[in-house]
Chain A
């Protein structure tokens, strides 16, 4: 199984809503990532978890709150978002880069629209 599964595929939320994006992998990877991608732009790294601990936060606003409850799951909790936060949110996983240099596997993304 080389899949990274993201749910939901599409999400529309209001600016006062609280929602969560979910990501799951069963490849035994110990590093997991959240990226944000705006239309016609490359993915931008948001967070990196390594062995279930947050290792990189790219100065992301606090209205985005990541959580890694176990080695297979990664969540992104959303609260009080703005319309400009509308984007494709991508999850990825890999072997921990401190262990070895390997590729990352990406999910198909969640298309988020903030209204």
Chain B
């Protein structure tokens, strides 16, 4: 599985954009990048995923570099409720791998949004 590297922790001021980087230099051409977050003692929550194009949804934007070796999750207007551990995951593609769907969580980034 491709490994991911994220900073251990980051701070962000409330109302500002939070930019969370992830390095996945060994990613294969057909592996997706997924982002989840986990608020203390809850189950992880899906945020967004992408393959090679930039993606946006109601929660966040995902910017993937052209060589796909890194990506950035952007929370455009961080709130106190966005304080969580953010995980960047590379997901084994559905085909042809026998390990399809296997997702290995890295250590994640603890994002603290401050008033």
Contacts and interface: CB of A to CB of B under 8 A. Distances in A.
Interface in A18-60: 31, 41-45, 48, 50, 55-56
Main secondary structure of the interface of B (DSSP, over half): loop
B95 to A, nearest CB: 6
Interface of A: 4, 31, 41-45, 48, 50, 55-56, 88, 90, 92, 94, 96-101, 103-109, 111
20 contacts: A43-B44, A45-B104, A48-B102, A50-B101, A88-B41, A90-B44, A92-B44, A97-B91, A97-B92, A97-B94, A97-B100, A97-B101, A98-B101, A101-B49, A101-B93, A104-B46, A104-B103, A105-B46, A108-B42, A109-B41
B106 interface: yes
Contacts of B94: 96-101
Nearest to A94: B101
A42 B32 contact: no
Contacts of B43: 4, 90, 92, 106-109
A106 B101 contact: no
Contacts of B44: 43, 90, 92, 106
